[in-house]
Amino acid sequence: MEMRLGWLADVIDDSPTLKLDGQAKQLLARGEPVINLTVGEPDFDTPLRIREAAHRALDEGGNGYTASAGLPALRRKVADYYAARLGVAISPGEVIVSNGAKQILYNALSILLNQGDEVAVPVPYWVTYPAQIAALRARMIPVVPSRPGWKITPEDLERAGAGRAKALILNTPSNPSGAVYTRAELEALAEYCRKTSFFILTDEIYEDLVYTDEGHIPLMTVAPDLRHRIVTVTGLSKSYAMTGWRIGFGIADEKAIGAMTRLQSHSTSNVNTIAQKASLVAFDCRDEVEAMAAAFRSRRDALVADMATIPGLRFLVPDGAFYLLADVSGLVDPERPVGGCWRLAEHLLQSEMLAVVPGEPFGVPNHLRLSYAAGEPTLREAAARFRRAAATFGG
């Protein structure tokens, strides 16, 4: 008898970014000269002090289970660091350590949502948001920005009917657009949120990679009165070059953290103990974080300068993260607009061995996302390959 899978098996697909990254890595393993700009992963080494701390944790032993919410010492470190950064008092009981930002998001959505609830999500969105919402039998309300810049306004939320939502996901700096909300923009959104009852999941995993004078402004700093409805999602993956270590932090009130902890105790138990112990020194590595951020800004500038000269390509200069979201509608046959970004992505890979991510999984057809988490010579070569492929693309 054929095994019959449950409904979730039909709902959930592979992560498009990880799937395309895997395809690019297979080509690289065969010796093909692929430039892989798909996945959001820093190409820097994890700071030395963190790696040394991992070695010490191995040598010293005591690497059994930890408390499900994380090592008490690490939760205390996170609470103290973010209290200073956010300007809001935070206790260790308001912190959970999970297996990356993805688990923080899934834990939070799981304890917030009931079947049929709706979640407002600005467009473009990270591909995991709709997948997790669907997995929990909830529905997504796409909120399309009405102004250039990939940032929503209260009017956009009202137009989308977001007032009926159970939660809002706000990602700043944004993957895939690199958009960064200003204090004034967040204050306007906070005022709208005060008129609703929904929870706000603020995904700030790229908080250290911001290239504006104002820098990253956390929502909790702008609206401390809403803190009982805010779940801040962050971690060490991006800014500290620790994607594979799987260290994510969630900050929320103790009731929410308690529920997330109970769920986590029945799913993954706890985060890798060695990774947690190594993470105790992470906040002492701010000099390396700042150096990496400066390198990403330089790489952005190099890629933007070269891509700006390609006919038919349009984009906004990203203010944060390490992604360029390019509008390729000028390269796509207007008679065949559907699937144009996928055809172009396939053409880039087949003709020039350049791997990028189509925009449709992010909610923006006829766009491509390029990660500039690569060295400047590689990015310049990528732009040259893009130019050649664009010139031979049939649309």
* Residue 365 belongs to domain with CATH number: 3.90.1150.10
pLDDT at 336 over 90: no
- Identify the DSSP state of 68: T
Would 249 be classed as within a structural domain?
A: yes
pLDDT in the model for residue 85: 96
Does one domain contain both 155 and 192?
yes
Q: What CA–CA distance (Å, rounded) separates 144 from 124?
A: 8
Does one domain contain both 259 and 321?
no
Does one domain contain both 358 and 296?
yes
Strand order in the sheet with 167-171: 95-98, 248-251, 230-235, 199-203, 167-171, 118-122, 139-143
Does one domain contain both 77 and 20?
no
Q: How many structural domains is the chain composed of? A: 2
The parent domain of residue 26 ranges over: 7-45+287-392
pLDDT in tens, 157-197: 999 999 999 999 999 999 999 999 999 999 999 999 999 99
Would 208 be classed as within a structural domain?
A: yes
Does one domain contain both 77 and 177?
yes
Q: Domain ends where: 284, 303, 337?
A: 284
CB 87 within 8 A of CB 221: yes
Average pLDDT, whole number, for the chain?
95
Q: Domain ends where: 266, 284, 302?
A: 284
Does one domain contain both 126 and 107?
yes
pLDDT in tens, 9-57: 887 777 766 777 777 788 878 888 899 999 889 999 999 999 999 999 9
pLDDT in the model for residue 12: 77
Does one domain contain both 70 and 17?
no
Q: What CA–CA distance (Å, rounded) separates 338 from 344?
A: 12
pLDDT in the model for residue 24: 79
State the alpha helices, DSSP H only, in 161-307. Answer: 183-193, 219-222, 254-265, 273-279, 286-307
Provide DSSP, 310-359: STT-EEPPPSBTTEEEEE-GGGS-TT--TTHHHHHHHHHHHHH-EE-EES
pLDDT in the model for residue 254: 98
Would 326 be classed as within a structural domain?
A: yes
Does one domain contain both 41 and 95?
no
Would 2 be classed as within a structural domain?
A: no
Dihedral angle sign, alpha carbons of residues 108, 110, 113, 119: positive
Would 1 be classed as within a structural domain?
A: no
pLDDT in the model for residue 57: 97
Per-residue pLDDT, averaged over 238-248, amounts to 97
Closest CA to 47 of 239, 288, 293, 234: 288
Does one domain contain both 258 and 168?
yes
Q: What is the CATH number of the domain that holds 267?
A: 3.40.640.10
pLDDT in tens, 371-395: 999 999 999 999 999 999 999 998 7
Does one domain contain both 352 and 382?
yes
Confidence of residue 304 (pLDDT cuts 50, 70, 90): very high
Would 32 be classed as within a structural domain?
A: yes
pLDDT in tens, 109-149: 999 999 999 999 999 999 999 999 999 999 999 999 999 99
pTM of the model: 0.95
